[in-house]
Amino acid sequence: MSDSILWYTTRGAGAVTLILLSCVVILGILSTLRVQSQSWPRFLTTGLHRNLALMTLVFLGLHIVTSVVDPFTNLGWASAIIPFSSSYRTFWLGLGVISFELLLAIVATSLVRGYLGHRAWRAIHWLTYAAWPVGVLHGLGTGTDTWSAWMLAITAGCVAGVGVAIALRLTSGHTDPLAPQRAAFRAAVDRREAR
């Protein structure tokens, strides 16, 4: 296989991963906001969220494998697993490794969510708010195409989309109509069990 094909694949898969991951983050936030309409049931949001997340991992795998195999960067498999161990763009590539490993933890725990319990799963799922920005920084710092107009447009679109979703989430307050009552009840149960 020609080296340039590997190099193009790495860059393309990186860009696709950014787009998919941003969509996954937005869908995840929309699901907590209980967005729905006549033609868009809530299970569609969560189903898309999950399936696009799995697809993100496929493109992320492609991105990582092609960049390691590519002789130009001369990375080696260790630098794809150990953060900041590559001689090539050490810092920016290390951010990519960190983001990748956080995403692996998030997906793996989601696949066994039923055994893990909701609280532990949710705590780990919050790591998304670290994995996504670290991944974006990785793209900005090491991306070959970062300053080309189309890649700037993609990155800006992804950041804007996720930014708007987070802003909506922060301003929406409780989405559970009986949240205060349930919190009071749960506190009472905890008190009784503590005795």
Of 10, 17, 31, 99, the residue at the interface with other proteins (CB under 8 A) is 31
In the list 43, 72, 77, 84, the residue contacting other proteins (rule: CB under 8 A) is 43
List the interface residues with other proteins, window 65-84 (CB under 8 A): none
Residue list 176-195, contact with other proteins (CB under 8 A):
176-179, 182, 185-186, 189
Q: Note whether 120 binds other proteins by CB under 8 A.
A: no
Cβ neighbours of 94 (radius 10 Å):
20
- Residue 40 sits at φ, ψ, to 5 deg, of -135, 85
Size of the site for other proteins (CB under 8 A): 20
Specify the stretch interacting with other proteins by CB under 8 A; choose among 10-18, 36-44, 139-147, 150-158.
Answer: 36-44
Min separation Cβ 120 and other proteins, Å: 11
Out of 12, 35, 46, 152, the residue judged to bind other proteins by CB under 8 A: 46
Is the Cβ of residue 6 or residue 165 nearer to other proteins in the bound state?
Answer: 165
Rule CB under 8 A: say whether 42 interacts with other proteins: yes
**Where do runs of H (alpha helix) occur along the chain?**
3-32, 42-69, 78-81, 90-111, 113-116, 118-125, 128-142, 149-172, 179-194
Does position 54 bind other proteins by CB under 8 A? Answer: no
Q: Are 89 and 138 in contact (CB under 8 A)?
A: no
Burial class (CB in 10 A: 0-12, 13-18, 19+), 125: middle
CB of residue 167 vs other proteins: minimum separation in angstroms? Answer: 21
Report CA-CA distances (Å) from 51 to 41, 156, 182: 16, 24, 32
Dmax (CA) for the chain in angstroms is 70
Backbone angles phi, psi at 37, to 5 degrees: -155, 180
- Cβ neighbours of residue 162 closer than 8 Å, sequence gap 6 or more: 22, 25, 26, 29, 132
Minimum Å gap between C-beta 106 and other proteins is 15
Nearer to other proteins, 150 or 190 (CB): 190
How many residues in the chain? 195
Residues that bind other proteins (CB under 8 A): 31-32, 34, 41-43, 46-47, 113-114, 117-118, 176-179, 182, 185-186, 189
